[in-house]
Amino acid sequence: MKNIPSRTILFITGAFVSHECWSEWMTFFASRGYTCHNPAWPNKDASVPTLRQRHPDANVAANGLRTVTDHYEQFARQLPEQPVLIGHSFGGLMTQLLLNRGVGAAGVAIQSGPPQFLLSTKWSFI
């Protein structure tokens, strides 16, 4: 492969899943020589069964878009190279926000969540 901007990938989870959802993706990319990271959201760093037992969790509910995006920015800036960002749902939105902040060599937003107040019920949007 040529013109690869980075050999490091940072996976960014959406709001309604655990960071463990990236495990198969990480295995796939690691087997191809990438260094992969999938840090949990603040207050969501437990196993799925533990998170379910804590539900509803006021600490998780207190996470806002800015807080979580800042969390991923701090993580990414500590890496030895700018990572490729791959995010799903609100993780896709955070991927776009991080790229706008100059964080990340490239980004992939999978079914990106819309910013607040930009959701439309028009069929063409859906």
Give the residue from 110, 123, 124 showing the smallest Cα distance to 17.
110
pLDDT at 126: 56
What is the radius of gyration, based on Cα positions, of the chain?
15
pLDDT at 6: 87
- The per-residue pLDDT of the chain, averaged, comes to 90
pLDDT tens for residues 20-55?
A: 999 999 999 999 999 999 999 999 998 889 989 988
* Structure-token pair, residue 54: 């804590």
Torsion from C-alpha of 101, 92, 41, 82, nearest 10 degrees = -50
Cis bond leading into 49, ω under 30°?
A: no
pLDDT at 55: 87
Q: Model pTM?
A: 0.86
pLDDT at 1: 45
Between CA 104 and CA 95 the distance in angstroms is: 8
pLDDT under 70: residue ranges of the chain: 1-4, 116-122, 124-126
